Amino acid sequence: MAKNNQEKLLSADIDSKLVDKFLSQMETRGFKKKRSVAAAIQLWISLPSELQAKAMAGALGEDVFSGLLHYLIDNEISQIRAKFLSQLQTVEIPSFSPSDQK
């Protein structure tokens, strides 16, 4: 139950195996369920909508963290590559002739 006006109760029916894994991990690591769920929600809302859709579709696989890393790394590489190629197009490469080397 929410303790004050700044909190809302969140409830959902979730696969029992997933809940069991979550509860076991929380107990082992000494984390509070409430804070862990809040952290997961914060992570979720900060994800790009494309990645949220992949997660909802199960397209990130069983190891969601690795899927997330691959997505982020691939996206970063694509951005760096595009930036490099756009800069490469603006660079003038001098031409040399054999007589210039004397």
pLDDT tens-digit map of 59-87: 777 777 787 788 888 888 988 988 888 87
Angle (CA) 34-36-42 rounded to 5° is: 105
What is the pLDDT at residue 99? 67
- pLDDT category of residue 101 using cuts at 50, 70 and 90: low
What is the pLDDT at residue 85? 82
Is 73 strand, coil or helix? helix
**Phi/psi-derived region of residue 95, left when phi > 0, alpha when psi is between -120 and 50, beta in every other case:** beta
Contact 102, 96 (CB under 8 A): no
Is 78 strand, coil or helix? helix
Counted residue by residue, the chain has a size of 102
